[in-house]
Chain A
Amino acid sequence: MSLSDLANPTRFLTLAGRLIPWLAGLTLVLFAVGLTLVARSPADYLQGETVRIMYIHVPSAWLSMLTYTIMAVSALGTLVWRHPLADVAARAAAPIGATFTALALVTGSLWGRPMWGTYWEWDARLTSVLVLFIMYLGLIALWRTIEDPTRGARAAAILILVGSVNLPIIKFSVDWWNTLHQPASVFRLGGPTIDATMLVPLAAMALAFTFLLITLHLAAMRNEILRRRIRALGLTAAGAIR
């Protein structure tokens, strides 16, 4: 099956129906492995056991940005290639991205209070992630406001692409400005600065979270296709009544 075959929503539904149970099972296994590694990982010499929040906070923060990147690619698919599933993909991803961003903000606050002495600081990293969360909510509201999916798709795609400027700001905010947030310690020139005993569990949890995203996104896309079919049938019925 080629990528162009997936442009057909019916074929996509068949493929999603086959893949989702396997992906869900794999996600559960990955979380079991990840949490076991986290339980066996050592406490930090400075932060103590509080470092365990990292294994939740960092993957959810990565996924908040990865989900928006998926939406930005989908927005290009809508505007440039007019791919039939592009807007479906973007729309299905938004609530998932919003949830991961909210989780990153909440766990960040819960980590910040014992380590920094404050739940919140209006510094560049925290504020730019909050902006990302507001972008997600704005996009969900926009899709709900515009009833015609075609018009809604274009408006949302433009807004997504404008909002994607925020992604490099989030990533490099810790380098460009003085912030309370620590600088990048995994994806950086010169390699990770985290010890392998913590890096391996972190990578395992990040993989588990990524598979959770893939599974949920496929399932949400399947739902979105069904929602559009119901809408189309509803319009057909309304036309028949007239």
Chain B
Amino acid sequence: MIAALGPYAGFILLSYGAAILAAVGLTLWVILDHRRLRNTLAALEARGLTRRSARSAARLAPETPLETQA
């Protein structure tokens, strides 16, 4: 099959290899980065740190439906 690519098969295969490396590399980068950031954010929130907008939203919204009825 490689021979079917002619005398410059090495150049063609290297080009496609570089493209695969770039696509897989970028995909892994966003996936691993997302996992790391999500874990860090969860750890911070577990320590009781929340964003100002999340705090004000929590203050405005009733915590449980029962509280609303009471």
Contacts and interface: CB of A to CB of B under 8 A. Distances in A.
A102 B29 CA distance: 16
A53 B4 CA distance: 15
Interface in A64-115: 95-96, 99-100, 102-103, 106-107, 110-111, 113-114
Contacts of A19: none
14 contacts: A49-B4, A49-B8, A56-B15, A60-B19, A95-B26, A100-B22, A110-B14, A110-B15, A114-B11, A222-B34, A223-B33, A226-B37, A226-B38, A230-B37
Interface residues of A, number: 37
Given A216-B26, A233-B45, 10 more contacts: A48-B7, A95-B29, A106-B18, A107-B18, A114-B7, A219-B30, A220-B30, A226-B37, A230-B37, A233-B49
B65 interface: no
A229 interface: yes
Q: Give the size range of B's interface with the partner.
A: 35 or more
Interface of A: 10, 43, 48-50, 52-53, 56-57, 60, 95-96, 99-100, 102-103, 106-107, 110-111, 113-114, 212, 216, 219-220, 222-223, 226-227, 229-230, 232-234, 236-237
A234 B27 CA distance: 27
Contacts of A212: 23, 26
Nearest to A9: B53
A230 B18 contact: no
A10 to B, nearest CB: 8
A241 B14 CA distance: 54
B58 to A, nearest CB: 13
A52 B12 CA distance: 7
B37 A113 contact: no
Interface string B19-63: 100110111011101100110110011010111110000000000
